[in-house]
Homo-oligomer: A and B are copies of this chain.
Amino acid sequence: MACSTNAFSLSLSSKSASDFNPNSSDFFLRVNKPAKVSLRGSSSGEFNPGRVALSRPSGLRGRICANATQVMDQSVGEKSSKVPTIVEVDLGTRSYPIYIGSGLLNQPELLQKHVHGKKVLVVTNTTIAPLYLDKVIDALTKGNPNVSVETVILPDGEKYKNMETLMKVFDKAIESRLDRKCTFVALGGGVIGDMCGFAAASFLRGVNFIQIPTTVMAQVDSSVGGKTGINHPLGKNLIGAFYQPQCVLVDTDTLDTLPDRELASGLAEVIKYGLIRDAEFFEWQEKNMEKLMARDPDAFAYAIKRSCENKAEVVSLDEKESGLRATLNLGHTFGHAIETGFGYGEWLHGEAVAAGTVMAVDMSYRLGWIDSSIVKRVNDILVRAKLPTAPPEIMTVEMFKSVMAVDKKVADGLLRLILLKGPLGNCVFTGEYDRKALDDTLKAFCKS
């Protein structure tokens, strides 16, 4: 064949930065809405699930600050609107759009044009179902009486991201006699998206799939790039598939009901994009962290859009993670070790990634690859986002090492890591580093 199937290009549409209204007070209304689910996080400015060692001096300590006076950078803000922003993920025949905006679940045509066949299976969990399931069913069926919707409601939490729970999706799909022309819809956070996506990839060897992510984490990370899967008792996401959705619909209104801890967890990934490849975005976050913490919908729509653009660009260039894509895993190797060692579900994914990012940055500094100002800025922004900056006390050097040995980025026995190198916004994915730096970092962050 004359052209390679691996040659992808990226196109981004609907840039409407000029629409930004810095005087919008819309977010005050949203912030004042009573949350319909229990907030698992602390309402103070400190991260406190389990022990958290704030082991480095932090400058500005972040607080929820609804009347923050910082003015959002006009060049990057966007007005929230019923017209969705669209980020196009360009993967040849498997390209798909990400719709981002407020009130999108009230626009049935957006979802319906991506539904194939007459039967839809909505996969969600016990937390999200009471909040948004009826709304999604309405959006799928309004003016479209030929579509029938089945639902499967799974228990909520990373600890249920396993084969046993996955089988419940298959059971429901088969009992409901779904066929190859059906559509699976993931309604929930990253766990639901990953499991529903893997189920869609594997059911009848592949059916259509739509994602409606309801957490920041899922909106900025797991909904882009087609990674699906489940955990194994010995490691995270060890079983899965690369599988692309038909579309991703991010209704930013769903953030209204997101617990503080979940919100912060997603910000860990937002911060990551700045660190690995987008210094300007990192600087925007430094200026706007209080708006994000106050759930300013305009700030969030922008942060989600720019995160998705960054990830879409990386994924378009390297869909199957042969190199570049691995850089999206900054902090994740250390973070996965925390999640596995500490037990899935004790810490949220982003919390573990935040601590892991601090460790990766510490190691980069020990290697002499970055200067100390970056170490401080990373620590500061994570603290302002109410994220942990060290692993839980229970973690030992041995726990890190045993989990890291089965990391997917090990190749022929060599652990490759994502480390910062050079000015802010630059990183490397490499197995060529002084082992002593890794040992020193592990010792610095673990009691034994």
Contact = CB atoms under 8 A, between A and B. Distances in A.
A3 interface: yes
A232 interface: yes
B5 A93 contact: yes
Interface string A285-304: 00000000000000000000
Contact of A413 (B118, B175, B235): B118
A147 to B, nearest CB: 11
Contacts of A177: 405-406, 410
A406 B163 contact: no
Nearest to A174: B234
A408 interface: yes
Interface string A117-142: 11100000000000000000000000
Interface centre among A3, A171, A204, A409 (most CB of B within 10 A): A204
Given A410-B179, A411-B181, A174 B205 contact: no
Contact of A203 (B180, B239, B320): B239
A195 to B, nearest CB: 13
A448 interface: no
Interface string A16-35: 00000000000000000000
Given A5-B92, A179-B411, A406-B177, A170 B232 contact: yes
18 contacts: A1-B3, A5-B92, A5-B93, A6-B93, A117-B412, A163-B163, A170-B239, A177-B405, A179-B410, A179-B413, A180-B408, A180-B410, A181-B412, A202-B239, A203-B239, A204-B408, A205-B227, A205-B408
Interface of A: 1-7, 92-93, 117-119, 163, 167, 170-171, 174-175, 177, 179-181, 201-206, 227, 229, 232, 234-235, 237-242, 320, 405-406, 408-413
Closest 7 A/B residue pairs (Cβ): A179-B410, A5-B5, A205-B240, A174-B234, A181-B411, A204-B408, A3-B3
